[in-house]
A and B are shown apart, each in its own frame.
Chain A
Amino acid sequence: MKSLLLATSALTLALSTAALADEAVTKAAVLDTYADIAEAKYADSLATAQALQVAVNALIEAPSAETLDAAKTAWLASRVPYQQTEVYRFGNAIVDDWEGKVNAWPLDEGLIDYVDASYGGPSDENAFAVLNVIANPSLTLSGETVDATEITPELLESTLHEADGVEANVATGYHAIEFLLWGQDLHGTEHGAGERPWTDYAAGDDCTGGNCDRRAAYLKAATDLLVSDLEWMAAQWAEGGEARATVTADEDAGIQAILTGMGSLSYGEQAGERMRLGLMLNDPEEEHDCFSDNTHNSHFYDGQGIQNVYLGSYTRIDGTEVSGASLSDLVAAQDADLDAEMKAKLDTTMGALGAMKEAADGGFSYDQMLARGSEEGEALIMGGVNGLVDQTKTIERIVAALGVTPIEFEGSDSLDNPDAVFH
């Protein structure tokens, strides 16, 4: 009875404190901000992808060291807003169903173009690891002949992407484009990115690597596809779009979606799959942006996306700010200590990811950090991992505190597809 009395008085305290807090913070307002920030982030991703498209067209029109560099610079800029959208994955089915087309990774790049002999051949897992579409106008895929004379967005999207049901067959998106701009990074865990020569796009006898016209066609098709895919997603978050409508339809489910995205990206994806695994395998192939050596930025902006969604404030590429009622406000109204804890942990993570980014920008590249026995690199990467793992614990506390725990169950055939139940 004592504990029940304590609980009851605590409940009274909780309710009165909540009532005293800013009454303007409603779940609906928080969800509006969340959708507004998504709209801005995908619009920024689209704008920077369109700038990339202009640069790619200029490279194809007049191949040179300068136009290739300009395209690389545009690609790097396009990653800044896009990585900040990744926190919208995992919680929003519409994003997950689409994401594989634009940011799939890691890839068996031999599917697309020539690779170094050290890359190896077809593997147990992937019979098409060295298909080399650019060199082969006619392909045999799963026993069927495919006419690849014209390299079109349709060919990449519908025939080549995830060919044979293998996820490493990535034919589209940022990382396919990255490979076509940088080429393979053959420096292992030494400093240095891919060194594709601009002459891989040169006309006539100047062409290196063979099939320069087909390589240009591939690069153009993949870039055009990226732009159209981002156009579609930006529209889903605009006023009247499906993503916005879905996440704002049910307030508790919407808040749950925000937290699911924050937690899944922090723990399983970023801390686990992308950072810790690559470190423990000492394998630069496990880098997220392995061709361009931009992995440190991808990790940093992923972390920043988590933070700015929680704080309800995103700074756009033109410097303007999109902000409004935040999840932070909502948590603070119920439990100010828990909100302070979340903010502090997000700060700690960003401090650690910032230190990693600073070291990489200063010349200690991410692949060097992965090298066997690199204690300094391990400390930088594990600083980020530990911050992300620790913040996940607080995200779980917020899920419990807000009482938005999900009871739906995903990933079971028996539920997703009742016909699959035989017994």
Chain B
Amino acid sequence: MALLLTVNAFAKEKQHGEEAGEKDLKTEIKEYIAHHLLDSYDFSLYSYTNDAGEHKYVGFPLPVILWDGGLKVFSSSKFHHGETVAEVGGNHYALYHNKIYKTDANGTINYDADHHPTNEKPLDFSFTKNVFFILLVSIIMFLIFSRMAKNYKNSAMPTGFGRLLEPIILYIRDDIARPNIGEKHYRRFMGYLLTVFFFVWIVNLFGLTPLGVNVTNNIAVTLALALITYFITTFSGNKNYWGHIFWMPGVPTPMKIILAPIELLGTIIKPFSLMIRLYANITAGHIVLMSIIGLMFIFKNWIGSPLSFALAFALSLLELLVAALQAYIFTMLSALYFGAAVEEGHH
């Protein structure tokens, strides 16, 4: 099923690539990749140029929510994919590099010396494509797992899809939570660990489909996940945990003073590494995959396309593995940090 979708993706990319015309193809591909990786204010699956030369988008708009001296809610269709200025309640907003700026009626954007826009940026709570997708995945997860839970009321054995999911749940419990956190405390963290594993995995898998949604390559998403891990670790830290951070036992006093700030910094670096690892792995995978697909349009000869196809195919398989692996690593390391936080002193 995933393979089929990947092949579909190629077809769509191709369609898009062909209409790029004879302009600077390399720049075009680069921009397309960069654009693909970004969040967007509407849910567009793909775009094409019709015979009349109009740029058409297939998809639907999503609500834009701004806080700019009051709540402003309007449909992202007002931007016409960044081509026009949206006028809401006397204020004008324009899209520039996928960010909303407050402009005048003409959509003028002023730049500073480094070519950064100087226009005011309203506080943006827009229900973007990624938010939409996060919500969608959450709803799907809730439906699947609450149904699975209901099944257990009738029979002790899982039924249907639960038969596939139960071993994964048991794996997380028996091979991630129990050995890393310990028999006594692991139950408290199971809810978060299971949710984060399935969420990251499902979202990563959807990122590989041609739907064009890449949730985990947004630093905001990985920051949110890492921050939750950080707060759970910090708030469940016991005396032993804090003792090891501020007054490391078993080392000479001057060393203790040196170690304290390092250890304290370590508590922040750990979730920070979680955030960067997930973000970088998924982003890198997408960039490489799309670049290889892009090669097809640059070579334009009989070697290029099959080669690019074979490479992209192999890489897609690898990405399938990476999708699960990153979810596993995130869950595993979170469990490790929780384990350190609740570990009982044994001195």
Do A and B originate from a single complex? no
Residues of B within 8 A of A (CB): none
